[in-house]
Amino acid sequence: MKAQINTLEKVKGTAISNDNVEGIENKQKIIVTKIDKKKNIYKEINKLLNEISEIEKDKTSLEELKNINLSYGKSLGKLFLEQIDEEKIDADHTIKAMEAYMEDLDNIKKKSEEIEKDMKIKMDINKEMEVLKISHDDEKNYHTKSKNHEKSISDIHDKSSKIIQEFSKESDINDIKNKLQENVSESQKHNSDINQYLSKIENIYNILKLNKIQKIIDKVKEYNDEIEKNNKKINDELSNSKTLIKKLEEDLNLKECQSKIKSTIDDNYVGECIKNITGLKTYILNEENNINTYFKNAEEYNKIVLLNFNNIEMADTKSQYILNIKTNNGTNSHDYNINELKEHKHKSNGYKDEADKNTQTIKKNKELFEKYKQDVTVLLNKYSALALKNKF
């Protein structure tokens, strides 16, 4: 935007009609009203960016450009603030669900004697929690940490509101956009951590509640299915990242221009390389958000994989604990297939290793993408300098 303003200062005396300016602003307002808050925010932001880029094709006066800058900035700020609002609402709902589980956990601990009577075995709840490495304070600690994350989201919301309030005609839109994007990402990360703590409390509840081997086996199958599903999602993100990197690796124009930069080349070839490299750089900039999303998604899916694998290990420990008690009491009826649990655990371990390996590969592809971005920028600068040199 600053570059646009600098350029337009030179044509300050010329202007397009007010109808065109108002048309652009009206399009912005229409776009804002059509936002799907959770799914389409970045798509709609890009529409706004495209609208503002059209101004470069017109001989707009500096003052008109500043007015559009202000209108656009307010629209952009509203979009990002709505997204952070959604994260605040989600966090509140998640913590309420967490508190409901905590209440149920207290009831389970209090009703341990009823469970023992139903099972016809002595189930020491304190001993069981010790074996499962569960502390009586675990859920309280998770709740406290979640409340801290919720507070952080509120702080981010306040910080973003201040940025928007201070936005003026002179503000750099790209700078504001980057700051607000970063704030949205931060709020999403805090929300993700809250969801992780909810899942941990939910699993403690499930493990302490389940006191029959077959029900534990059924639960382990659910965990394994969840691991398999998220492992597949990571594979999809890996495929996406590979496709992106392959296109860059196979770009013949880039290879040719890189190989001839130190040779004696004419102006036409220099111009052709500048055109091709500029096109490639535009492609890279357009895909940058995608490669970041592939890695971010993979990390989140991998967290779910690890969480569910830990759930399986805890469930396995619980089943062994019950089996030992039943064996010692002579009440083991064998109305279950314990090998089924072992098979699920073995499969899930394979999925876990594959998920972690593929997540690391996506990370490497992201780093390789960033290197291509840097190399293309350097090469474009070299050819631009060469073109300037050839003019003199």
Residues 216, 182, single domain; the answer is: no
229 and 203 in a common domain = no
Are 247 and 197 members of one domain?
no
Query: Do residues 190 and 215 both lie within one domain?
Result: no
pTM of the model: 0.72
pLDDT the model gives residue 30: 46
My answer on whether 196 and 297 are in the same domain is no
Specify the pLDDT at position 277: 92
Are residues 328 and 376 located together in one domain of the fold?
yes
- Name which of 91, 79, 96 is nearest 40 in CA terms: 79
Would you state the pLDDT for residue 12?
A: 33
Left, alpha or beta for 133 (phi > 0: left; psi -120 to 50: alpha)?
left
- Are 193 and 339 within one domain? no
pLDDT for 15 = 35
pLDDT at residue number 116: 58
Check whether residue 165 and residue 20 sit in a common domain.
Answer: yes
Query: Looking at the structure, do residues 218 and 205 belong to the same domain, yes or no?
Result: no
The total number of structural domains in the chain stands at 2
Q: Looking at 169, 191, 209, which one is the last position of a domain?
A: 209
Pairwise CA distance, residues 139 & 202, whole Å: 9
Distance CA 103, CA 292 (A): 39
Q: Do 356 and 252 belong together in one domain?
A: yes
Q: Which residues of the chain have pLDDT under 50?
A: 1-21, 23-25, 27-36, 39, 59
Q: Are residue 187 and residue 234 in the same domain, yes or no?
A: no
Domain that holds residue 101: 1-209
pLDDT tens digits, one per residue of 124-162: 778 888 888 888 889 999 999 999 999 999 999 999 999
Looking at residue 10, its pLDDT comes to: 35
Helices (H), the chain: 2-9, 18-33, 41-53, 62-110, 112-119, 125-131, 138-165, 173-209, 213-249, 252-260, 267-329, 338-390
In order of 197, 206, 217, 317, the CA distances from 132 in angstroms are 17, 12, 16, 7
State which of 209, 239, 258 marks the end of a domain.
209
Residue 133: Cβ within 10 Å count? 9
User: Could you give the CA distance from residue 253 to residue 245 in angstroms, rounded to a whole number?
Assistant: 15
Domain boundary residue, one of 168, 187, 209 = 209
Shared-domain flag, residues 187 and 241: no
Tens-place pLDDT, residues 155-198: 999 999 998 888 876 777 778 888 888 999 999 999 999 999 99
